[in-house]
Structures are given as C-alpha cells and as structure tokens.
Chain A
C-alpha cells in the first residue's frame, strides 16, 4: 500500500531510484528472491545440484580442451582449480544477465496489473543467483581440499569481488531488462553477446597469455577484473590491480547508468510490454 500522501504526475528527465520506496516494499523483494530460488529447480531431478554441475561440467570439458589439446599450461595452479575459480564468477555473471534481461518480459502479467517498484524483478533474480554462486564456492572449497591447495590471506578479498560481480551483473542486467521491454531483440542478442564475452574474459587462460596490444580488451571488460580477483582471493594467484580497478570502476558506472536508464524506461513498461 502506498505512502500516506502520494502525488502522481508525469516524471520529467532522468531520475535516480527511489530508495525510500524500495524500503517500503522490502518484503516484496524478499519474497521475490525466495520465489526465484524456489521455482528455479522445481520439478528437476537434481535440484540445487545444478548450481554446482554447471561450472563443474564446464571445467571438465574446458580442462580437456584447453589444457590437454590447446596446451595451456603454467597457470600457477592445477588447471581444474584455475578454471573453476574463474568459472564461479563467470557462470554467475552469464546466468545473471541472461535471466535478469528476461525478468520483466517474463512477468508481463504482473507489470500490467499492479504497481510495485519494477527494479525488484531483475534485482531479485540476481540475488537468487548469488545464492547459486555461494553454493559453487562450497564446491570450490572441496576442490581445493582435494588438490591440497593452501588458502592465503588474500581470501579476505573474496567478499569484495563477490560484491563486484553482483555490481557488474546488476548494472548490465538492469540495462538489458529495461531494453528488452521495448525491443525483444535483446532476447536473441544476449546469449550471443555472452558467448562473445566469454572469449574476452580470462576464464580459461591467464591474463599473461594475452598479447600486450590486446590487453585493452580485458581492461574494457567489467567482469575480467572480477575473474582475476576471484582467482587471487581463492588461489593466491598474482593479480593485475590495474585490471581490477578498471573493472570495478566500469561496474560501478554500469550499475549507476543501469539504474538511471531503468528508471527512465520504467514509466512506459506497462504501455509497451
């Protein structure tokens, strides 16, 4: 139910998100996150195990392809550990922008029939996926035990990079979900875009393998620094702080831009969707 005195009038220009309103609707956000977690693996045999299986299978296949066939060695850690540490944030990011970008269109009926801060739909989706990321981190711990790989104090950085991954995913997720309402092209472009992005993210190869004149591509990639950061925090691998700083700056800008852009398009959602 709305606040005590409410004034409805056309909005002008670019406006930030109304934080007070989001606070009013906090229970809704909670229930939406909880719904997204509950229904994601409903009527599946393996349930939450999929959160672990996705990066695990990817790790095995890529390990075979890149390690054995393409011959990428000397990554500073056992190749499966190296890959899995990168796949944790990457899988989260890829799923997040995929699911978030369809979150509004998928809730068309709700948007047409009732008011609530629309930003909650993509955000709830991303929050629910963050839980998957935590589950796969448990798997990562298991792998590290298996390989007897020691943890370092760098592990303290992990929450920072978890946060950074959420920031990058939310920024892009907000942007794409709003755009998808107007242009369904987004639905077709996102999987393709994600696939392209995978190649310019150092998941399967170390940054050191990228020729110097191509490094700028990594610097422009908000998730590249997060992948590097995860690896640093989990495995104590050396890290390019320039890349990390660049990625964090980009993620923050992306998030803010995403919020404003979302707010701008929000007013037409019910008419256009």
Chain B
C-alpha cells in the first residue's frame, strides 16, 4: 500500500546568534547584498543573506524519514526543542524544509491553533466564514456545515455579535467548533487543546477523538502523553531533531519517559539536588534544596520499590525569613501525567513547631506505598504562609515493582492505587 504521507530526508536549518535577530536592518542588507549578490536574498531560512557557518547553524530537524499510512493516528512526542513543531510546520507548508521532500496524497488540513485569523470586530457568523476559508474550506462547504458549527459551539443568539464581546469560553468554543467541522482526509494537529481549563480540554479531547474516527489519518503533536496514548496508535519520538524511536503509542511513551524526559533525573541516585532542578517553574526562586529517598531500614532508594513498601522522603529547604507556617509536599504522577496522590505535611494532625528560619528538613514516612506497579514521577513543593513558593516537577522517578501487596499472590495491574479493603461473605439466611 502506498503511504498517504511520505517524508524523505527532511531537514531544516535555522541560523543562530546575532544575525538571527528578529529585525534586520537595511544597512546590513545593503552591505550584504553588495557583498553576496542579489541572488542570496531570501535563500537562508533565518536571515536571507548571511553565509552559513557551522557554529551559527541549528538543525531543528534532521533527516526525518517516515511513512504514514491511511488510518494511522500518529503521535509525535519529544522534549522542548526536539523539533516537533518544526516538523509540523514543514508538513503544514508554513515553512519550507532546507532539504528533503514530503509527498502528501490527500486533502490535508492543519490545525496549529484554533481560531487563526479571527477578527475581534467581526461577528460570530462572519468569523465562521473567514476562519473556515483560512482553514481551506470553500464557501459552499462552510455553508453546508454552518448549522452544525453553531449548534456545537452553542452561540445561537450571539451569532451576530462581534466576537470581541464574547466571553473567552464562547470564543474558544466557536473557534474549536469550526476546526472540529473540517473534514479532511489528513489532519495535522498541534497542541490546539492547550486552551481553556482542564474541563474544557477534556471535552475537546472527546470531540477530537470523534473527529479522528471520521478523518482517516491524523498527525498529533502534544505534550499531553495521556492524550497521545488514548488517541494514537503509533508514536514517533523526536530527540534533537532526529527520530529516536518509532512504534506503538504505548512503546513510544515509555521509551520517551525512560530515556528522554529531560526533567527525570538519573536512576540510582537517592539524593537529588533540587536547587538546580530543571523542573522548576520560572516564576519560583529555588527554596527547595534537596530530596532524599529511603526505604526499609533507611536503605537509600535507587528508584525501584516494591508495591506496598515503606518509603521515607527527606525534604530539605531554606527559610529565608523566620516563619511559623510552612509545608512541604510530594505528589505522585503516572507516566501519562495523571496525579495519583499527594503527601503533604499539612495532613499531619500532630504537627506543632515554633518559629524557624534557615535550612529546615521535613521527614515524610509512608508506611505502605499504595501504588499499582508501574512508573511514577515525583514532584516536590513548598508552601510558606499558605502560598506555594516553590515547585519542582519530575524531581524524581520511581519504579514500583510487582509485589504481593495483599498477601494473596494476586498483583493488581489496572488503575493506579492500591486500597486496603476487606471482604466478607454474608452467612446464608441473614439479611442485614
């Protein structure tokens, strides 16, 4: 069978450094035009006239080869800067590759965001036509789907109101509704779902899933690994512009988590320096200093832990000003980013302490770790005076091993949490 998308040796180079400044100037251009000749104008992707030197170049994607067949839903995953967006932009024809070629056999639509080209002054009705045309629909196609679009968006009586008067929720619903009513053979989707709140994202994901069932071939780029897992049957992992792994969605995600998730520290280290951790949001100063993990008998934990085992976490942090109210927390997430549970010092009923300052250490003991065997990521947080002042994502990674948690020899593999539960069979004849 002939692939519907055939990607051959696709590479894209960008210029870096001073020359890549957003705005060039005439002076520079004139000098360079004289120096290099008119011919060079518009040739280099970034600035059009600078002779490329190896040290000022960046290959955003390099030698990508890939075949996508009809009916595939391919998730493209990778860390920031792995080349996902560049690849998508090449496939959607927004930017040109430096080398290589792509053959696309079918009507293609790309959604790098919803509501592209919406004009605030235009009414909902007008924006449906405009945005539909921008997405590549013909007027008659838009007209044919018009009723469905407004019904799905639920904007009925606001149809002839300028969208600048819409609530942000209505705006996004309308934008999304138009996108969802595209009916291409090939759909290319970037993190369009990174809009709205979590509840809306979930609703969108559901609708997307339906849309995917309709349209036959989908390329989906996302940081949301859970979405990739549930929507895609294949995954491609990009790393530093190259394809690092191709396989099923599940394999791809676990490959990514194991090898490339930039934030995950190396396994086997039970003392984790949090001061320079990469998972810290930019808005936070590094208050958290260190996380240490131990198990039974204060044995340093190397990353593997049997289900139901004892876990001791030691969190060190700095209090810059004396204070009485401070709390630390550890959150456990699954591989796909779903929060399982959080251990928090505020949950300790017997806690009492005087004013403290300087370096402090909390010790957290979890008698029986109630996690289903699998991979988990640990996040560490610090609150002062009831406000979060520090938060480190993916501070540590934990592999929960299969173990006889219930003493029955049965090891649960579904779900994420093990609960203590007792069952009795009621004796015959008693009804209460």
Specify which chain A residues have a CB less than 8 angstroms from the CB of B46 in the assembled complex: 268, 271-272
- Is B94 in contact with A6, judged by CB distance below 8 angstroms? no
With beta carbons under 8 angstroms apart, the residue of B97, B98, B137, B139 that contacts A1 is B137
Which A residue's beta carbon lies closest to that of B109? A1
8 Å CB interface, B77-113 against A = 89-110, 112-113
Which B residue's beta carbon lies closest to that of A178? B42
Specify which chain A residues have a CB less than 8 angstroms from the CB of B271 in the assembled complex: none
Distance A30 CA – B132 CA, assembled complex (angstroms): 12
For the residues of B in contact with A, the DSSP-based class is loop
- Is A115 in contact with B105, judged by CB distance below 8 angstroms? no
Which A residue's beta carbon lies closest to that of B182? A1
B315-345: contact bitstring with A at CB < 8 Å (1 yes, 0 no)? 0000000000000000000000000000000
With beta carbons under 8 angstroms apart, the residue of A8, A114, A184, A264 that contacts B134 is A114
Chain A interface extent, by class? 35 or more
Asked if A45 CB lies within 8 Å of chain B CBs, one says no
- Is A110 in contact with B117, judged by CB distance below 8 angstroms? yes
- Is B133 in contact with A2, judged by CB distance below 8 angstroms? no
A1-29: contact bitstring with B at CB < 8 Å (1 yes, 0 no)? 11011111111000000000000010110
Specify which chain B residues have a CB less than 8 angstroms from the CB of A9 in the assembled complex: 97, 100-102
Number of A-B contacts (CB under 8 A): 136
Which of A31-39, A72-80, A95-103, A247-255 is the contact stretch? A31-39
Asked if A194 CB lies within 8 Å of chain B CBs, one says no
Specify which chain A residues have a CB less than 8 angstroms from the CB of B126 in the assembled complex: 35, 38
Q: A1-B184, A264-B41, A268-B45 are in contact. Are A115 and B93 (CB under 8 A)?
A: yes
Asked if B302 CB lies within 8 Å of chain A CBs, one says no
Distance A268 CA – B24 CA, assembled complex (angstroms): 13
Specify which chain B residues have a CB less than 8 angstroms from the CB of A185 in the assembled complex: 25-26
- Is A2 in contact with B95, judged by CB distance below 8 angstroms? no
Asked if A141 CB lies within 8 Å of chain B CBs, one says no
Can you report 13 residue pairs joining A to B where beta carbons are below 8 Å apart?
A2-B107, A5-B105, A8-B101, A9-B101, A27-B138, A28-B136, A32-B133, A38-B126, A109-B117, A114-B117, A267-B42, A271-B14, A272-B47
Asked if B376 CB lies within 8 Å of chain A CBs, one says no
- Is A42 in contact with B94, judged by CB distance below 8 angstroms? no
Specify which chain A residues have a CB less than 8 angstroms from the CB of B119 in the assembled complex: 35, 39
Asked if B130 CB lies within 8 Å of chain A CBs, one says yes
Asked if A113 CB lies within 8 Å of chain B CBs, one says yes
8 Å CB interface, A216-273 against B = 264-265, 267-268, 270-272
Q: How far is the CB of A128 from chain B (nearest CB, A)?
A: 13
Specify which chain B residues have a CB less than 8 angstroms from the CB of A264 in the assembled complex: 41-42
Please report the total number of B residues contacting A with Cβ < 8 Å.
54
6 closest A-B pairs by beta carbon, nearest first, are A115-B93, A1-B107, A9-B101, A8-B102, A28-B133, A1-B136
With beta carbons under 8 angstroms apart, the residue of B14, B24, B90, B182 that contacts A183 is B24
Specify which chain A residues have a CB less than 8 angstroms from the CB of B103 in the assembled complex: 5-8
Specify which chain B residues have a CB less than 8 angstroms from the CB of A149 in the assembled complex: none
- Is B122 in contact with A7, judged by CB distance below 8 angstroms? no
Asked if B129 CB lies within 8 Å of chain A CBs, one says yes
Asked if B373 CB lies within 8 Å of chain A CBs, one says no
Specify which chain A residues have a CB less than 8 angstroms from the CB of B423 in the assembled complex: none
Asked if A213 CB lies within 8 Å of chain B CBs, one says no
Asked if B135 CB lies within 8 Å of chain A CBs, one says yes
Q: What 12 additional pairs, Cβ within 8 angstroms, besides A35-B119, A113-B94, A115-B94?
A: A2-B104, A6-B103, A8-B91, A8-B97, A10-B99, A35-B126, A35-B130, A38-B126, A183-B24, A264-B41, A270-B94, A271-B95
With beta carbons under 8 angstroms apart, the residue of B47, B95, B100, B117 that contacts A270 is B95
Specify which chain A residues have a CB less than 8 angstroms from the CB of B98 in the assembled complex: 10
Asked if B226 CB lies within 8 Å of chain A CBs, one says no
Distance A109 CA – B118 CA, assembled complex (angstroms): 10
